[in-house]
A = this chain, B = another copy of it.
Amino acid sequence: MSPREDAVLSTMQDVPLLISRILVHGSTIHGTSQVTTWTGEGEPQRRSFAEIGARSAQLAHALRDDLGVAGDDRVATLMWNNAEHVEAYFAIPSMGAVLHTLNLRLPVEQLAWIVNHAADRVVIVNGSLLPLLAPLLPHLPTVEHVVVSGPGDRSVLDGATAQVHEYEELLAGKPTAFDWPELDERQAAAMCYTSGTTGDPKGVVFSHRSVYLHSMQVNMAQSMGLTDQDTTLVVVPQFHVNAWGLPHATFMTGVNMLMPDRFLQPAPLAEMIESERPTHAAAVPTIWQGLLGELHAKPRDVSSLGQVTIGGSACPPSLMEAFDKLGMRVCHAWGMTETSPLGTIARPPAHAVGTEEELAYRLTQGRFPTSVEARLRGPGGERLPWDGESAGELEVRGPWIAGAYYGGASGEPFRPDDKFSEDGWLKTGDVGTISPDGFLTLTDRAKDVIKSGGEWISSVELENALMSHPDVAEAAVVAVPDDKWGERPLATVVLKEGATADFETLRSFLADEAQIAKWQLPERWTIIGAVPKTSVGKFDKKVLRRQYADGELDVTQI
């Protein structure tokens, strides 16, 4: 149908969704809200949103006038969570440049690769991280300026070819207002590289539009739902997918932020919770596990903390229950760099609240918001139903979901087939089920799932079942080639000391006790001394697959 000449036009104003709007709103209407940064000793640093607004303007002036930042120049940050990092979050995209948050936990070679790929012109760095940056600098030819903020020995930068600046000196005397440009909302605002275990890191570039919409979602009552009555303890690093969107979301509603800077150990975290009384916190499970141990060793008043958002990886049920007992309500969320990251959040549905079902819902990855469309695809690419049983690879679509990766200064964005579907949806690489009411339960990574005769077998399910046998210390299940079925599972088992269970016993256990379907039971078994692990402690299944291919494993077929 071709449009008619008398087409009805919307009479709405065409106002772009820009990060500068979030900054101006937060620093005026919520000007008295605060960013509190932990300093390790003495009083924390306290800065109002109004001050953050003024200093963001000063930073933008300094970057433009003193350092010559223009157009879409990349300005990187190598920083902890603190007020200055928040200033960089707002100043850099608001002036039209691109914020590039560097993950200080990456191997140095990857870090250098990423800075060079993004062609960062400026790096803002915390003084305490100079020992990490200084030896890299000679390998970062595009970096013209280093801006140092906070305590730390500057002498390690002696002899650097890049110009070195003091953050506070750059800001001093600059105007406290900036005429933020009216940008296109689809313009690049910030970038973040994924740290995939295979291949080069891949850059995800967020737009003003995606950040703005994501921030609104975070603030919806059904998501994190914070208001200016709240203080959020932002443990999740600002270099980890924009700290899950919290710095932007808080400026939309005046939520106070408590920033731990480099004090991420259980003891200072417990101390800052007791003294600053945040009402909400966000972090990965490891942090919470550590905090829980600390609280058991040295009880503290953490009663302010009513709500805790956990993401990054699944929260063990034991941890959720332990937190519940402390009066902290854990809320599970799932996402990835490519999803900005809010993909799902596990608020139980109304009918389950207060019932036995509630915990089961809270242990899922959660429900998709309106702006995240989801579908499951089976081994042959076919669409699978939302029946809570059919497991498929999760694909998502939406205005804050990546549709490509950054191609570098000289390249077009690229869309590898294993990451994006033919119609542009993101392939998450996660395998799971979706219930009829839209709750996602992840069961495996797509690369680890066993594709057997057009059906999928979850390696994780088999591993968990095996590890529930009293004789088994560890077990990893990997796909190995099979002439008839394409792939079949290989069970690699680490027995406990003195344990005697044989393969037939374990196989019967899987079938009878763990109720694994017969066609999913492994035929190939091997005993190993330990499951190989990656640097972050995950099972390294590609080592096992290679050992099998090279005939290094002593495999029994039963």
Chain A residues in contact with chain B, CB under 8 A? 1, 3-4, 6-15, 17, 21-22, 25-26, 28-33, 70-72, 74, 98, 119, 186-189, 191, 203-207, 209-210, 213, 216-217, 219-222, 225-229, 252-254, 347, 349-351, 353, 367-371, 373, 386, 397-406, 409-410, 413, 424, 426, 436-438
Contacts and interface: CB of A to CB of B under 8 A. Distances in A.
Contacts of A189: 10
Contact of A15 (B4, B33, B399): B399
- Max chain B C-beta neighbours (<10 A), residue from A29, A369, A371, A413: A29
A349 B228 CA distance: 7
Q: Which 9 A-B pairs have the closest CB atoms?
A: A29-B438, A10-B207, A13-B403, A221-B225, A8-B188, A25-B370, A12-B210, A11-B205, A11-B404
Given A15-B398, A29-B367, A350 B228 contact: yes
A423 to B, nearest CB: 11
A210 B10 contact: yes
Given A220-B253, A226-B221, A410 B6 contact: yes
A1 B68 CA distance: 12
Contacts of A353: 229
Given A367-B29, A405-B11, A437-B29, A17 B399 contact: yes
Nearest to A216: B216
Nearest to A401: B13
Nearest to A100: B8
B216 A221 contact: no
Given A17-B213, A32-B351, 17 more contacts: A3-B72, A7-B188, A8-B191, A9-B413, A10-B186, A11-B403, A11-B405, A12-B206, A13-B424, A29-B437, A219-B222, A220-B221, A220-B252, A220-B253, A221-B226, A222-B228, A254-B349
28 contacts: A3-B72, A4-B71, A6-B409, A6-B410, A8-B406, A11-B203, A11-B402, A11-B404, A11-B406, A11-B413, A12-B209, A13-B397, A13-B399, A13-B424, A14-B186, A17-B213, A21-B371, A28-B386, A29-B438, A30-B438, A32-B349, A222-B227, A222-B228, A225-B225, A229-B350, A252-B369, A252-B370, A254-B350
Nearest to A26: B370
A130 to B, nearest CB: 27
B1 A227 contact: no
A8 B219 contact: no
- Max chain B C-beta neighbours (<10 A), residue from A119, A191, A229: A229
B71 A3 contact: yes
This chain: how many copies in the complex? 2
A396 to B, nearest CB: 9
Contacts of A347: 227
A450 B74 CA distance: 53
Contacts of A217: 216
Given A222-B228, A229-B350, A204 B6 contact: no
A358 to B, nearest CB: 12
Contacts of A229: 350, 353
B399 A12 contact: yes
Contacts of A413: 9, 11
Contacts of A3: 71-72
Nearest to A351: B32
B400 A12 contact: yes
- Max chain B C-beta neighbours (<10 A), residue from A119, A220, A351, A369: A220
Contact of A11 (B74, B204, B225, B370): B204
A386 B11 CA distance: 29
B188 A1 contact: no
A432 to B, nearest CB: 16
A216 B220 contact: yes
A12 B403 contact: yes
A221 B215 CA distance: 12
B220 A28 contact: no
A253 to B, nearest CB: 5
Nearest to A408: B6
A229 B221 CA distance: 11
Contacts of A221: 219-221, 225-227, 253
A197 B217 CA distance: 38
A370 B213 CA distance: 12
Contacts of A25: 368-370
A28 B209 contact: no
Contact of A216 (B213, B225, B253, B437): B213
A257 B254 CA distance: 30
A438 B29 CA distance: 5
Given A229-B350, A397-B13, A424-B13, A7 B404 contact: no
A397 B213 CA distance: 18
